[in-house]
Structure 1
Amino acid sequence: MNDDAPHREAVGTLLRHVLEMLDGDVAAVYAERGLGDYRPRFSPPLRALVTDGPLPIRDLARRVGVTHSAASQTVAQMARAGLVELTPGPDARQRVVHLSARARDLLPVVEAEWAATTAAMRELDTELPAPLADVLHAVLAAVARRPLRRRIADAGLPPPPSTP
């Protein structure tokens, strides 16, 4: 590991560092193709909208596997980039997300990047002790079975002081 990498036990920092490196390289690929305003975080919602058609933000969040708040923020960024349009939903509190004409025009480039990134990740996986996605899914399953908060308590951290 290089000297600029986070400490081995700083797992949260290490995960963010890996994500920044991967996302940074994908963002550079888009910028090289004249899509400097396209962010890697746009791809999961865009793919869901391509597959499922227009979706309320809460359904899009569920489909992508993020919180409603995270989906709302991403959709707002995508709307500013001209990739999606929002219309009122059947419920006054809902907004439905639609692909814009610009997003449809960009689909050939974006789909080519998706395919190339998938191939590049498969190649990267050959250099790792286990495929990255498999490890991440295993982590999610493990913390779903026994949350890190519980593991921290079981590791001996005293309980917080009780408040009167």
Structure 2
Amino acid sequence: MSSLPEREAVGTLLRHVLELLDGDVAKVYAERELADYRPRYSPVVRALLSGGPMPIRDLARAVGVTHSAASQTVAQMSGAGLVDLTPGADARQRLVSLTPKAHWLLPLVTAEWTATTAAMRTLDSELSMPLVDLLTEVATALTRRPFRARIADAGLPEVAGDPYPAQHGDE
């Protein structure tokens, strides 16, 4: 078993758990000779299946990520031949749609989604509460009161003035 990060390193622990989950899903894809398919593609595929071709901004909203993150994922998926980008209603907009290759992969990807959902239920049965419920609770609490405010309340002193005056002389 791999060693866990120290208890106070919550961000490191969250990334570690995500690596364990996504890493094993990625291994499933690789075992089925889908090495170009990444777990992060599935929410995009699902959104495009349910909503049809859409601009990256709408796709980001549907998936629940930033525009930048959606754009990066779409670029990777385009490189893997899974999505096409076509001009949208105005010059700044690009519509994302699934390619025939993505549609061809759907039966295998859908089977993985079903198996992953079942595997998550078995993992949840070993936890004190379902992981999705805990993560939703955390996200709701942080939306209600951001972590930055909580850090300030914990007594972090304010920064007065320029902390690096020697580097910011008259320019």
Which residue number in structure 2 is paired with residue 155 of structure 1? 154
Which residue number in structure 2 is paired with residue 143 of structure 1? 142
Query: After the TM superposition, which parts of structure 1 deviate over 4 Å for at least 4 consecutive aligned residues?
Result: none
Alignment pair present for 1:133 and 2:140: no
Alignment pair present for 1:60 and 2:50: no
- Deviation string, structure 1 residues 75-131 (Cα, Å, up to 9, x no partner): 000000000000000011010000000000000000000010001001100001110
What is the SS of the residue equivalent to 2:85? Answer: strand
- What's the RMSD between the two structures over aligned residues? 1.2
* Equivalent-residue separation in structure 2 for 1:13 and 1:94 (angstroms): 36
**C-alpha displacement at 1:4, in angstroms?**
1.5
Gapped regions of structure 1 (runs ≥ 5):
none
What is the SS of the residue equivalent to 1:71? Answer: helix
Which residue number in structure 2 is paired with residue 87 of structure 1? 86
* Equivalent-residue separation in structure 2 for 1:149 and 1:162 (angstroms): 20
**Larger radius of gyration between Structure 1 and Structure 2:** 2
**C-alpha displacement at 1:3, in angstroms?**
6.1
Alignment pair present for 1:73 and 2:81: no
Which residue number in structure 1 is paired with residue 168 of structure 2? none
Q: Which amino acid aligns with 1:64?
A: V
Q: Using a 3 Å threshold, how does the CA distance of structure 1 residues 153 and 111 change in structure 2: closer, same or farther?
A: same
Q: Which amino acid aligns with 2:128?
A: P
Q: Using a 3 Å threshold, how does the CA distance of structure 1 residues 58 and 135 change in structure 2: closer, same or farther?
A: same
Q: How does 1:5-20 map to 2 (within 5 A)?
A: 5-20=4-19
* Equivalent-residue separation in structure 2 for 1:40 and 1:123 (angstroms): 19
Which residue number in structure 2 is paired with residue 118 of structure 1? 117
**C-alpha displacement at 1:162, in angstroms?**
3.3
* Equivalent-residue separation in structure 2 for 1:98 and 1:144 (angstroms): 32
Gapped regions of structure 2 (runs ≥ 5):
166-171
* Equivalent-residue separation in structure 1 for 2:126 and 2:158 (angstroms): 42
- Deviation string, structure 1 residues 36-71 (Cα, Å, up to 9, x no partner): 110000000000001111010000000000000000
Which residue number in structure 1 is paired with residue 49 of structure 2? 50
What is the SS of the residue equivalent to 1:35? Answer: coil
What is the SS of the residue equivalent to 1:86? Answer: strand
Aligned residues: 163
- Deviation string, structure 1 residues 1-26 (Cα, Å, up to 9, x no partner): x6621111100000000001100000
Q: Which amino acid aligns with 2:6?
A: H
